[in-house]
């Protein structure tokens, strides 16, 4: 489980849902600054493995796979909830995205999924049920969202990566999917200007007339990760109260 950074993150909601259904978990932290919080959450979740893993470093990805292999000898699912873009790239015009900012966003948010899939494919192929990789996307990869900028391009690349990995790993019995949740008040989302306006727009425009919750995303992840979703691969599943189907906000009655 990569991306569990704090109690309010979507990765934590997914981890709690999986643990509730009896899963044994491995959690990672990127650096020393995040270690204490992740270890606190690991205690809450009864995680058997807590390891450092900077997804931009192949040696750390390989070390994590080795540790999981030594602990369980197989893996039933892998959750990739990792994304990053510099704060200054998430404001102003997308055309002003810097070259190094673009490369960083794509490396951390997209290539990391490729690196992890390659490292863990042998363990997943030994998994029970319907082994699965799950990542987190967003509607900003399909449509323009103000201030999402380079992260929108990264999410579009992530969606395509899900499809290509699904085609590669399907013959080995491993599924690859993404969830595309609606906006939530998480610490990572707080870096996007206009979040409050976005939440208000979804609440007034989505067919269900509300925003989604982290627990709802966790429950959707359970379906995607478990044998309940055993025939689903290469999909980006929207968990957004229906907002993504709307072409315009509801029109007033005539």
Query: Residue 19's closest CA among 65, 90, 71, 77?
Result: 77
* 237, pLDDT greater than 60: yes
Name the active-site residue from 29, 77, 120, 138: 138
Active site residue 148: yes
Q: How far, rounded to the nearest angstrom, does the alpha carbon of residue 55 sit from its chain's CA centroid?
A: 13
Per-residue pLDDT at 190:
59
- The CATH-assigned architecture of domain 10-242 is 3-Layer(aba) Sandwich (3.40)
Phi, then psi, of 239 in degrees rounded to 5 = -125, 75
Please give the mean pLDDT across all residues of the chain.
94
Name the active-site residue from 29, 77, 120, 148: 148
195: confidence class by pLDDT, cuts 50, 70, 90: confident
118-151 pLDDT, tens digit per residue, is 999 999 999 988 999 999 999 999 999 999 999 9
Cα separation, 204 vs 243, whole angstroms? 10
Active site residue 111: no
CB 228 within 8 A of CB 156: no
């Amino acid at each position: 489980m990569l991306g569990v950074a704090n109690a309010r993150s979507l990765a934590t909601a997914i981890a709690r849902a999986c643990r509730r259904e009896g899963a044994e978990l491995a959690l990672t932290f990127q650096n020393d600054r995040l270690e204490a919080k992740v270890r606190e959450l690991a205690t809450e979740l009864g995680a058997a493995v807590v390891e450092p893993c900077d997804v931009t470093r192949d040696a750390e990805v390989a070390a994590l796979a080795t540790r999981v292999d030594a602990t369980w000898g197989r893996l039933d699912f892998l959750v990739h909830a990792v994304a990053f873009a510099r704060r200054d790239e998430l404001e102003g015009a997308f055309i002003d995205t810097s070259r190094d900012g673009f490369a960083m966003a794509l490396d951390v948010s997209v290539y990391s999924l490729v690196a992890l899939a390659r490292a863990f494919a042998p363990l997943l192929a030994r998994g029970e049920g319907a082994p699965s990789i799950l990542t987190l996307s967003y509607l900003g990869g399909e449509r323009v969202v103000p201030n999402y900028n380079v992260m929108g391009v990264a999410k579009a690349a992530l969606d395509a990566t899900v499809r290509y990995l699904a085609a590669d790993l399907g013959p080995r019995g491993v599924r690859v999917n993404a969830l595309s949740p609606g906006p939530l008040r998480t610490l990572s989302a707080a870096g996007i200007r206009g979040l409050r306006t976005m939440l208000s727009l979804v609440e007034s425009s989505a067919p269900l007339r509300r925003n989604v919750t982290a627990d709802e995303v966790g429950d959707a992840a359970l379906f995607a990760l478990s044998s309940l979703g055993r025939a689903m691969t290469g999909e980006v599943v929207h968990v957004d109260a229906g907002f993504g189907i709307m072409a315009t906000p509801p029109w007033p009655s005539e």
